[in-house]
Structure 1
Amino acid sequence: MTEKAERSPFGYRSIRVTACDATAGIIAGTFVCPLDVIKTRLQVIGLPLAPLSGRQKGSVIIRSLQDIVKNEGVVGMYRGLSPTIIALLPNWAIYFSVYEKLKDALKSNDGKLSVGANIVASAIAGVSTTIATNPLWVIRTRLVTQGMRTDVVPYTTVLSAFTRIFHQEGLRGLYSGLVPSLIGVSHVVIQLPAYEKIKQYMAEIGNKPVDKLSPESIVVATSISKVIASVMTYPHEE
Structure 2
Amino acid sequence: MVAWGFDPSACSSFCGCVGAGVISATVLCPLDVIKTRMQVYGLPSNLSSTAPPGFQHILKNEGLPGLYRGLSPTIVALFPTWAVTFSVYNHLKGLLHSQGDNTGELSVQANILAASCAGIATAIATNPLWVVKTRLQTQGMRTGVVPYTSIWSALRRIAEEEAGVTHVAIQLPVYENVKLYFAKRDNTTVDKLSPGKLAICSSGSKVAASIITYPHEVVRSKLQEQGRARHGAVHYTGVIDCIKQVYQKEGIPGFYRGCATNLLRTTPNAVITFTSYEMINRLMHQLLPH
What TM bracket, shorter-length normalisation? 0.5 to 0.7
Q: Does 1:83 align with 2:43?
A: no
Structure 2 residue 24 is the aligned partner of structure 1 residue 28: yes
Q: CA RMSD in A?
A: 2.0
1:58 and 2:54 correspond: no
Which range moved further: 10-19 or 78-87? 10-19
Instruction: Give the letter aligned to residue 158 of structure 2.
Output: I
- Listed as ranges, the matches of 1:99-178 within 5 Å are 99-107=89-97, 108-170=101-163
Return the alpha-carbon distance in structure 2 between the equivalents of residues 112 and 83 of structure 1. Answer: 37
Q: In structure 1, what residue type is equivalent to 2:116?
A: A
> Are residues 72 and 85 of structure 1, via their aligned partners in 2, closer, same or farther at CA, if it must alter by over 3 Å?
same
Deviations 1:121-177 (A, max 9, x none): 1110010111111111111110011001100011111111111111111158xxxxx
Describe the shift of the 1:37–1:82 C-alpha distance in structure 2 as closer, same or farther (beyond 3 A): same
Matching of residue 69 in structure 1 with residue 81 in structure 2: no
Counterpart-to-counterpart distance in 2, 1:46 and 1:34: 17
* TM-score, length of structure 2 as denominator length: 0.52
- How far the C-alpha of 1:47 sits from its partner, in A, is 2.2
Q: Which has the higher contact order (CA 8 A, sep 6+)?
A: 1
Change (3 A) 1:86 1:18: same
CA shift at 1:59, angstroms?
A: 5.0
Structure-2 residue corresponding to 1:39: 35
Identity %: 53
Which residue of 11, 16, 20 maps to 1:15?
11
Structure 2 letter corresponding to 1:47: L
Whole-Å separation in 2 of the counterparts to 1:48 and 1:12:
48
Q: 2-side partners of 1:135 and 1:9: how far apart?
A: 28
Distance 2:31 2:88 in 1: 31
Structure 2 contact 44–54 (Cα < 8 Å) conserved: no
Gaps of 5+ in 2: 166-290
Cα offset for 1:9? 5.2
- Which of structure 1's runs of 4+ aligned residues deviate more than 3 A? none
State how many pairs are aligned. Answer: 161
Worse-matched range after superposition: 36-45 or 14-23? 14-23
Taking the aligned partners of 2:142 and 2:114, their CA distance within structure 1 comes to: 41
Structure 1's unaligned 5+ residue stretches are: 173-238
